[in-house]
Chain A
């Protein structure tokens, strides 16, 4: 790994103080901030995602690591140029119309930020207009969350709205949402857990969407 091993380890071990110290040391030592982010912090969060997928880590540890990552991002982000931070893509995340639940959505936001994406948190109760505005502002991936079977059907409207726009991908997830439902409504991707969101977004942007 070309980056700072200490920073990578600190994120992996969810040690916020060490992350802050390592980022500051890197910045002071002249390491490009884009390298700190893309070569150290993002790979560490990917490793955490991989460990979650393998059943070695669980949501509390993931959240703890994401918080450590965020502490580093708080230092790095103001120093990044647009091209540095937006290089992976812009993603908008929201809970669909009629649904006020946000825990799952918040986890996805944290994981995607940790994955190096520029993330817009659209909040809850998101209408088509909210998603349209996010696309107008540059998001190319829309993540839709729902907790209720009675609200998840709104995802079909979001998918339908952007189905003819190849530049926009729609990913769905949430407790009642299944892969079969995602396929049924024609979503571009489905994430069973928040930790999968980064992988699914990456696959969508690479053109190998798992759910369509």
Chain B
């Protein structure tokens, strides 16, 4: 590629980044940005099976780049088929249905929630989780979700040791590959990597990965105070993961994947007592540090929009799934940028003309004053039709042009350290596994630069923390 070509691509990237970030701060850019959450659709477009993009992340990356080249999109997620089975197979994770192994090769991977009696955390284990979430994950949770890893006290095994080594190295390899992928998206198609970092609500983590939804429902009836304590104990750790995985340039938002915290999965009282009080402070503190959070509001959260209005203006991007995008715009549009709301059923099963009509209506109403990003309601799987996605893209470019729009880099909020930076009472601080003080007690009196020894210990120890919390949140 020539230097001139590089310059053109870099200008395109800069235009798209400015368009995307301006809209996310609820501003009015030059045109409506397009940021489709394309998952297994990328495989369909690039000629791969679901099995190929799930098992081979190079193919998944290639498929995402192919889409970025072929469609005029401002931003994409580097790999929305996020669960790489190289990782999950290394650990023998029990909770995925994997294409080509558990489901047919052309079906996307699926999360298999354990039944009421097979939950990965028992109803009487709240105190152990609350006392030290990180230790609980290593000692109790991991051996249960893995077919390979041994429980503490059990004899170690060749397969168990291998699983930990392979799982850790595979995770480093995979995360490292995202840097190259993002750079290639930027220089090959001028496309912005749409999100950075991960957050999930404490309540959702309990429901999804620990107690299971049914188990948590029972706990909410039988021991609600323990559930609240557990949510509070998880808060500083989940905040730490979100903050340390966020975009250091504070340009793109942290992905917040919302599952079962909305009515009717919980009652309004439970949302008010458990879900929201253990989410809101985290979002506010991330914002104080300059990080927006993208609320991927899976399902319909219409009962909770007033609660979300409590958050500072611009602090979130609200993605509309099954809710009525026009209603959400009326209720949140003055404070936050919205994205999504184009029904997946339309994109998968209806003619392109209907897609265009719906997109035009959304542009006319929801995007009228800026603060809207074009996207489907839910992550797009391989049932999405390419011609319909092309219609969504072309319609947005045709109708979604603002007169007098501006694109300016977002202002960075003032950074202030808050209470969530403390460890919240857990025996192990967020970001660590074995405290330096414990390690130091086992060493002889140090000579030379003791701070250097401590710093290196803490840096490497933090990798153990990344490992276990990423398993919990991302895989």
Residue of B nearest to A125 (CB): B103
**Interfacial chain A residues near B214, Cβ < 8 Å:** 63, 103, 106
In chain A, residues 135-184, which have Cβ atoms closer than 8 Å to a Cβ of chain B?
A: 148-151, 153, 175-176, 178, 181
Complex: how many Å from CA A64 to CA B266?
Answer: 12
Find out whether the CB atom of B103 lies under 8 angstroms from the CB atom of A149. Answer: no
**Which of A103, A149, A181 has the largest number of chain B CB atoms within 10 A?**
A149
Contact A61-B221, Cβ < 8 Å, known A149-B345, A150-B383, A153-B383: yes
B326 sits at the interface (CB 8 A): no
Complex: how many Å from CA A103 to CA B220?
Answer: 17
Find out whether the CB atom of B213 lies under 8 angstroms from the CB atom of A103. Answer: yes
Find out whether the CB atom of B382 lies under 8 angstroms from the CB atom of A150. Answer: yes
B340 sits at the interface (CB 8 A): no
B113 sits at the interface (CB 8 A): yes
**Interfacial chain A residues near B265, Cβ < 8 Å:** 58-60
B182 sits at the interface (CB 8 A): no
B410 sits at the interface (CB 8 A): no
Find out whether the CB atom of A59 lies under 8 angstroms from the CB atom of B264. Answer: yes
Complex: how many Å from CA A64 to CA B103?
Answer: 32
Minimum distance in angstroms from A4 CB to a CB of chain B:
23
Residue of B nearest to A102 (CB): B113
Minimum distance in angstroms from A40 CB to a CB of chain B:
21
Complex: how many Å from CA A148 to CA B109?
Answer: 11
Q: Pick from B107, B112, B220: contact of A98, CB below 8 A.
A: B107
Q: Pick from A60, A148, A150, A181: contact of B220, CB below 8 A.
A: A60
In chain A, residues 28-75, which have Cβ atoms closer than 8 Å to a Cβ of chain B?
A: 52, 57-61, 63-64, 67
Residue of B nearest to A184 (CB): B349
Find out whether the CB atom of A149 lies under 8 angstroms from the CB atom of B382. Answer: no
Find out whether the CB atom of A60 lies under 8 angstroms from the CB atom of B266. Answer: yes
Contact A101-B110, Cβ < 8 Å, known A149-B345, A176-B344, A181-B345: yes
Complex: how many Å from CA A99 to CA B217?
Answer: 24
**Interfacial chain A residues near B217, Cβ < 8 Å:** 59-60, 63-64
Complex: how many Å from CA A148 to CA B345?
Answer: 10
Contact A64-B218, Cβ < 8 Å, known A103-B213, A149-B378: yes
B139 sits at the interface (CB 8 A): no
**Interfacial chain B residues near A67, Cβ < 8 Å:** 218
Minimum distance in angstroms from B113 CB to a CB of chain A:
6
Find out whether the CB atom of A178 lies under 8 angstroms from the CB atom of B107. Answer: no
A76 sits at the interface (CB 8 A): no
Minimum distance in angstroms from B80 CB to a CB of chain A:
14
Find out whether the CB atom of A176 lies under 8 angstroms from the CB atom of B345. Answer: yes
Q: Pick from A14, A181, A193: contact of B264, CB below 8 A.
A: A193
Contact A98-B381, Cβ < 8 Å, known A103-B213, A178-B345: no
Q: Pick from A61, A103, A150: contact of B267, CB below 8 A.
A: A61
Complex: how many Å from CA A14 to CA B268?
Answer: 19
28 interchain pairs, CB-CB under 8 A: A57-B267, A58-B263, A58-B268, A58-B270, A59-B217, A59-B264, A59-B265, A60-B218, A60-B221, A60-B265, A60-B267, A60-B270, A63-B217, A102-B113, A106-B214, A148-B108, A148-B381, A149-B344, A149-B381, A150-B108, A150-B348, A150-B383, A153-B383, A175-B322, A176-B344, A176-B345, A176-B378, A178-B345
A sample of 20 more A-B contacts (CB under 8 A), given A148-B108, A149-B344, A149-B348, is A58-B267, A58-B270, A59-B217, A59-B265, A60-B220, A60-B266, A61-B267, A63-B214, A63-B218, A64-B217, A98-B103, A98-B107, A99-B110, A101-B113, A106-B115, A125-B103, A149-B378, A150-B382, A175-B322, A193-B264
